């Protein structure tokens, strides 16, 4: 049946503004013919050592062209110093775009503080233009009511213990713990193609606009009369965001909470969600499960990467912007994919893999350099300065 992963990222190379990931292919054991992940130094079946050449290396098509074929791409990534969002420009034509050009190939293995955009080679990924056009279509109609009435908060509290703790999102008297939370399926679900539309928030001329958390959960009874947005975030919302709050208006904190729940951290901004509760056995192939994740989570915004850990039935979904990640976390919490799973969604820490750490450091360095260059600061290497 083969392995779900056909290659392992082993490094990041390329000039400033053009970073590429190099992958090592899986290798086949000469003794037992078993397929092994590139990171294995011994065969998982017969324990024979990995051959010196391994399975060979895979260069991104864009990097391959730059090194051996059509020449280096004219596109570069840069950062808007005002919004701190990555965009792309053509050094020859001066054309600019928010979407990652195909000639730059796949986004880096890990993108650090600044999102780079969807991987151009992934057929499951959708780019910015898809979400922008969808948003325009939704705003041509009024949002509908997802429920007939707003129900009272069902959390039970002890008498005299009504003090609410915003950090832990519960009352002092609540007795629930991590052991009995998240076991019940969500009561509602947001279906954007059916529910999204304009609300009073779209008519208000104000910079402080937030999204309806009840809409994200499929539970808003106000429809077009709601004072918050009933749609998914687009790139323009990320530009106008209040960095001290999430898209629903909750105060963000410097670090993640212990249980990785509620609002995400500010340093760094949260763009990756942990997805637990998957059922790999319910899908015919690993590719089918990954495709399902792209489709289900891609509804909430542009995804950069999905990493599925099949042996643990978990996944990590990385969005281009924190706004879309925040929305997806609320929209998919306790939801099901296709086979009755109850998804456990939390914020995720940075990938501890050394290759990912290297890619993050490189991505952040690229961004820092272009931000300084945009401000007119000339950078020279140590050798040039001597």
Identify which of 10, 19, 127, 11 has the alpha carbon closest to the alpha carbon of residue 73: 19
pLDDT score at 151: 63
Identify which of 304, 311, 338 has the alpha carbon closest to the alpha carbon of residue 124: 304
pLDDT score at 20: 74
pLDDT score at 92: 87
Q: What is the pLDDT along the chain (386 residues), one digit of tens a residue?
A: 444 556 677 777 777 777 777 778 889 999 998 988 887 889 988 999 998 878 777 666 666 666 666 566 788 888 877 777 888 888 889 898 888 887 777 667 677 777 877 655 566 777 778 899 999 999 999 999 999 876 655 443 334 444 445 554 554 444 444 444 457 889 899 999 999 999 999 987 666 589 999 999 999 999 999 999 999 998 878 766 677 888 998 888 888 888 888 888 877 778 899 999 999 889 988 888 989 999 999 999 999 888 888 889 999 999 988 899 999 999 999 999 988 889 999 999 877 777 777 778 888 888 888 777 777 776 665 444 44
pLDDT score at 239: 67
Spatial separation of the C-alpha atoms in residues 160 and 149, rounded to whole Å:
28
Q: Give 285's contacts (C-beta < 8 A, 6+ positions apart).
A: 1
CA dist 162 → 157, 173, 174, 219 (Å): 7, 7, 9, 24
Q: What SS3 class is residue 241?
A: coil
pLDDT score at 362: 81
Angle formed at CA 294 by CA 290 and CA 298, multiple of 5 degrees = 165
Identify which of 259, 265, 278, 267 has the alpha carbon closest to the alpha carbon of residue 346: 259
pLDDT score at 206: 61
Strand partners, 57: 24
Are 204 and 101 spatial neighbours (Cβ–Cβ below 8 Å)? no
The whole-model pTM stands at 0.77
Q: Name the burial class of residue 189, with classes exposed (0-12), middle (13-18) and buried (19+) by CB atoms within 10 angstroms of its CB.
A: middle
- Region for 203 from its dihedrals, namely left if φ exceeds 0, alpha if ψ lies in -120 to 50, beta otherwise: alpha
Spatial separation of the C-alpha atoms in residues 79 and 365, rounded to whole Å:
12
Q: Name the burial class of residue 156, with classes exposed (0-12), middle (13-18) and buried (19+) by CB atoms within 10 angstroms of its CB.
A: exposed
Spatial separation of the C-alpha atoms in residues 60 and 385, rounded to whole Å:
34
Are 118 and 303 spatial neighbours (Cβ–Cβ below 8 Å)? yes
Q: Give 296's contacts (C-beta < 8 A, 6+ positions apart).
A: 332, 337
Q: What SS3 class is residue 314?
A: strand
Spatial separation of the C-alpha atoms in residues 365 and 237, rounded to whole Å:
26
């Amino acid at each position: 049946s083969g392995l779900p992963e056909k290659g392992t990222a082993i490094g990041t190379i390329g000039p400033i503004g053009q970073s590429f990931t190099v992958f090592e292919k899986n290798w086949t054991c000469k003794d037992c013919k078993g397929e092994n992940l590139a990171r294995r130094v011994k065969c998982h079946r017969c324990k024979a050592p990995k051959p010196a050449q391994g399975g060979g290396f895979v260069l991104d098509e864009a990097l391959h062209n730059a090194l051996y074929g059509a020449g280096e791409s004219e596109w570069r990534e840069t950062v808007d110093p005002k919004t701190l969002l990555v965009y792309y420009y053509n050094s020859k034509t001066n054309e600019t775009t928010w979407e990652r050009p195909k000639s730059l190939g796949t986004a880096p293995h890990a993108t650090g503080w600044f999102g780079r955009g969807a991987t151009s080679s992934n057929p499951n990924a959708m780019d910015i233009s898809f979400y922008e056009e969808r948003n325009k279509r939704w705003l041509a109609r009024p949002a509908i009511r997802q429920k007939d009435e707003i129900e009272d908060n069902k959390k039970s509290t002890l008498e005299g213990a009504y003090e609410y703790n915003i950090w832990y999102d519960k009352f002092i008297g609540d007795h629930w713990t991590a052991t009995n939370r998240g076991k019940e399926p969500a009561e509602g679900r947001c279906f954007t193609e059916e529910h999204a539309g304009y609300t009073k928030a779209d008519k208000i001329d104000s910079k402080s606009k937030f999204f309806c958390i009840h809409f994200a959960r499929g539970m808003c009874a106000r429809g077009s009369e709601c004072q918050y947005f009933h749609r998914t975030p687009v790139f323009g919302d990320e530009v106008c965001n209040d960095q001290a709050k999430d898209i629903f208006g909750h105060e963000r904190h410097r670090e993640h909470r212990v249980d990785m729940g509620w609002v995400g951290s500010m340093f760094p901004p949260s763009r990756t969600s942990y997805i637990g509760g998957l059922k790999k056995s319910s899908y015919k192939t690993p590719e089918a499960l990954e495709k399902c994740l792209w489709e289900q989570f891609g509804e909430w915004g542009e995804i950069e990467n999905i990493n599925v850990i099949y042996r643990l039935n978990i996944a990590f979904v990385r969005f281009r912007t924190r706004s879309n990640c925040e929305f997806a976390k609320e929209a998919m919490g306790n939801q099901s994919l296709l086979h009755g799973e109850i998804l456990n969604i939390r914020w995720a820490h940075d990938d501890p893999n050394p290759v990912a750490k290297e890619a993050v450091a490189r991505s952040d360095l690229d961004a820092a350099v272009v931000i300084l260059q945009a401000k007119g600061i000339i950078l020279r290497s140590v050798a040039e300065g001597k």
